[in-house]
Structure formats: C-alpha cells, structure tokens
C-alpha cells in the first residue's frame, strides 16, 4: 500500500494521469480502501509539486504563467479569495490536476490552506474513479453478477451527478472569478 502511494505521488509530480492510478486503487483495494490510498497518493503528489514550484522551479513557472492570461486571472482571484477559488477549481474536472499543482505553488495561497482545500476538493472525483475500479474488480472476479444491474444504475446516477456538479461548479468558479475582477 505504501509503495502504491509513493508511486502515485511520483506520477502526479511527473504529470502522469492520476485517474489511471485511482481506478487501479479501486481495483486493488476496493472502493473504501482504494479511495483512501488514492487520496493519500494524490495529495502527497500535489503537495510535492506545489513545493517544487514554490521553492525550486518558481522562476521558470512564473515565466510560463506570465504568458497565460487565464492563469493571471486565476492568480488574481486567489490573491483575493485564496482557498475558496482553489476549492472551486479543485472540484472541476476541467482543470488539469497535475499542471494546476505547479501553478498553485506560485500563487499566494498558503501550503496548509492548499493541502486542506485540495484534499476536500478531489474527494468526489477520487471516489468515482475508485468506484469504477471496484466495479471492474467485481466484474473480473465474477462477483458482480447479482448486483450488477444496481451497480450500473448507481454508476449512471453518479455520472449524471458528476456532470451536473461539474457544470454548476464551473459556473460558480466563473462567477467568483468575475466578482474578484480577475476576468471580464
């Protein structure tokens, strides 16, 4: 389990897609264990990337960020509303997790606030992907035959809820960015 968490964390730092590891965690450890293991790996990796950006690669990332008007807007909003903006953006699967870890490292958000809001913000997506892995494991082992209809109904409802929440969070984040004056 520790090895899985370390590999997941390193993969996050190296920009490898986290959903693969989260689904794998669900496949290996089940929904509850997989969610916890994936959260530990993702948050550890996000924290490492944040620290690398803040203390080792700050100048390079700032040069890149200066050329990106969207980042400038988000940075300004974080300067005014800190953890609220990061939390809203963490809930949106439209914001690339691995890249954002580095960008948040050069903003004014504190490490503690970043870790806390990131941990809470990635729970819904982590739970969904771990659940997919657990369903896959049950299907592979043949244990899904009796409950598969209900599992698929639950999965469908979960996916629809995820889409609805994504749309809602995207609108809320956009409005929050507008309110802070970061975007027009």
Q: DSSP for 42-54?
A: HHHHHHHHHHHHH
Q: Please say whether the beta carbons of 5 and 41 come within 8 A.
A: yes
Average pLDDT for the chain: 84
Domain extent at residue 38: 2-179
Q: What is the pLDDT of residue 70?
A: 74
- The beta strand positions in the chain, using DSSP E, are none
Residue 21 lies in a domain: yes
Q: Over the range 28-64, which residues count as b (16 or more CB within 10 Å of their CB) and which as e?
A: bbbbeebbbbbbbbbbbbbbbbbebbbeeeeeebeee
Residue 42 lies in a domain: yes
The set of residues, in sequence order, having a beta carbon less than 8 Å from that of 46 and lying 6+ positions away, is 12, 97, 101, 115, 118
Residue 184 lies in a domain: no
The whole-model pTM stands at: 0.79
Residue 118 lies in a domain: yes
DSSP 57: S
Residue 22 lies in a domain: yes
Residue 32 lies in a domain: yes
Number of domains in the chain: 1
pLDDT at 69 over 90: no
Residue 167 lies in a domain: yes
Higher pLDDT, 99 or 181: 99
pLDDT digits (tens, 9 = 90+) for 164-174: 766 776 777 67
pLDDT digits (tens, 9 = 90+) for 126-164: 988 998 898 888 777 765 555 566 666 767 777 777 777
- Per cent of the chain over pLDDT 90 is 42
- Per cent of the chain over pLDDT 70 is 84
Residue 72 lies in a domain: yes
Mean pLDDT: which of 15-19, 81-85, 94-98, 127-131 is highest?
15-19
DSSP 94: T
Please give the average per-residue pLDDT across 95-113, as a whole number. 90
Helix (H) or strand (E) holding 121: helix 111-121
């Amino acid at each position: 389990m520790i090895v899985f968490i370390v590999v997941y964390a390193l993969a996050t730092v190296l920009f490898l897609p986290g959903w693969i590891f989260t689904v794998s965690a669900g496949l290996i450890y089940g929904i509850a264990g997989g969610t916890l293991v994936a959260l530990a790996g993702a948050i550890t990796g996000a924290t490492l990337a944040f620290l690398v950006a803040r203390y080792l690669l700050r100048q390079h990332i700032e040069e890149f960020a200066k050329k990106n008007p969207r980042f400038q807007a988000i940075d300004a909003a974080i300067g005014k509303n800190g953890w609220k903006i990061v939390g809203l953006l963490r809930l949106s699967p439209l914001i690339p997790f691995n890249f954002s870890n580095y960008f948040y490292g050069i903003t004014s958000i504190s490490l503690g606030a970043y870790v806390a809001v990131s941990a809470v913000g990635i729970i819904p997506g982590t739970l969904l992907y771990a659940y997919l892995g657990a369903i896959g494991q049950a299907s592979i082992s043949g244990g899904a035959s009796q409950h598969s209809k209900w599992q698929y109904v639950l999965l469908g409802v979960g996916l629809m809820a995820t889409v609805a929440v994504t749309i809602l969070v995207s609108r809320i984040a956009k409005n929050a960015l507008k309110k802070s004056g970061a975007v027009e």
